[in-house]
């Protein structure tokens, strides 16, 4: 028989996916068991999956707020914002900053580098802010860690009269919003109530008091009744309620 008369047939081994499909086609029970096993794994995984609407994620940013009552925006920029920016930018963990200077206050947003130790970065930020000498009359800077529960709506109230007249209205709005289910509300701009006591040396001598004994008695009264803060004037301070 010549080579031209021969008939050669070649067979190829099926690929691995084809073998698997062929196996399950012949063994339907195994296919059903495999499907049931996968479903059980999915149900088990869902039951152990920790899900949150607002997960706790480190934002990697913080803010610095400084109040300087009665100061103009340019003075705030030159004597508060710029010195703070220089000190903050020297930190290795800082990636970038943004700032806002306005009449009576300054705000700086500090964004840290990816992978930086957030707690250490905030601690270094506080030290850098504390090292800056701010002008007389400005209040102590506040360093605040940002979170994903930051305010979503800002409501500003203006009034042509005395600012103190707005206090009842502000507190009334705050109370109504909380009754509607808003869990956290922050109020800025209102002066903290402050009581100044003036006493003459004659009155002290008449009652046998000293300034130290009178101060101790007032502190004791203040501890018993939460009347706010006494001491440095807090005009324009941020009031957190």
Q: Check which CATH number belongs to the domain holding 135 and give it.
A: 3.30.70.1430
- pLDDT of 44 reads 84
Full domain range(s) for residue 92: 61-145
181 or 87, higher pLDDT = 87
In a domain, 5, yes or no: no
In the predicted model, what is the mean pLDDT of the chain?
78
Q: Is the same domain home to 66 and 141? A: yes
Closest-CA residue to 239 (of 194, 187, 183, 168): 187
pTM of the model: 0.46
Please give the Cα distance from 233 to 221 (Å, whole number): 20
State yes or no: pLDDT of 19 exceeds 70: yes
Q: Is the same domain home to 232 and 168? A: yes
Could you give the number of structural domains in the chain? 3
Closest-CA residue to 84 (of 112, 61, 109): 109
In a domain, 2, yes or no: no
In a domain, 183, yes or no: yes
For the chain, how far is it from start to end, CA to CA, in angstroms?
Answer: 104
Q: Is the same domain home to 44 and 109? A: no
Q: Is the same domain home to 81 and 140? A: yes
Q: Is the same domain home to 31 and 101? A: no
* Ranges 16-30, 45-59, 126-140, most confident: 126-140
* pLDDT classification of 143: cutoffs 50, 70, 90: very high
- pLDDT of 3 reads 47
In a domain, 35, yes or no: yes
Torsions phi, psi for 65 (to 5 deg)? -125, 130
Q: Is the same domain home to 177 and 129? A: no
Q: Where are the alpha helices (DSSP H) in the chain?
A: 16-26, 28-48, 73-76, 82-89, 118-130, 167-179, 201-207, 211-224
Reported as a single tens digit per residue, the pLDDT across 39-75 is 998 888 877 776 665 565 666 899 999 998 878 889 9
43 or 1, higher pLDDT = 43
In a domain, 219, yes or no: yes
């Amino acid at each position: 028989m010549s080579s031209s008369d021969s008939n050669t047939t070649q067979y190829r081994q099926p690929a691995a996916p084809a073998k698997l499909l062929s196996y399950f086609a012949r063994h339907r029970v195994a296919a059903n068991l495999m499907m049931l096993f996968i479903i059980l794994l999915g149900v088990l995984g869902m039951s152990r999956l920790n899900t949150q609407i607002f997960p706790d994620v480190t934002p990697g940013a913080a803010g610095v707020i400084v109040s300087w009552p009665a100061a103009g925006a340019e003075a705030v920029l030159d004597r508060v914002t710029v010195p703070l920016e220089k000190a903050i930018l020297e930190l290795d963990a800082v990636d970038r900053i943004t700032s806002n200077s306005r009449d009576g206050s300054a705000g700086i947003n500090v964004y840290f580098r990816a992978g930086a130790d957030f707690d250490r970065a905030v601690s270094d930020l506080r030290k850098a802010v504390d090292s800056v000498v701010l002008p007389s009359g400005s209040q102590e800077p506040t360093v605040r860690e940002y979170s994903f529960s930051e305010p979503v709506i800002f409501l500003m109230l203006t009034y042509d009269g005395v600012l103190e007249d707005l206090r009842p209205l502000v507190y009334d709005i705050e109370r109504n919003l909380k009754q509607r289910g808003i869990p956290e509300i922050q109020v800025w701009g209102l002066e903290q109530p402050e009581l100044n006591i003036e006493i003459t040396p004659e009155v002290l001598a008449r009652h046998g008091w000293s300034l130290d004994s009178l101060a101790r008695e007032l502190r004791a009264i203040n501890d018993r009744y939460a009347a706010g803060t006494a001491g440095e004037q807090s005009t324009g301070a941020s009031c957190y309620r």
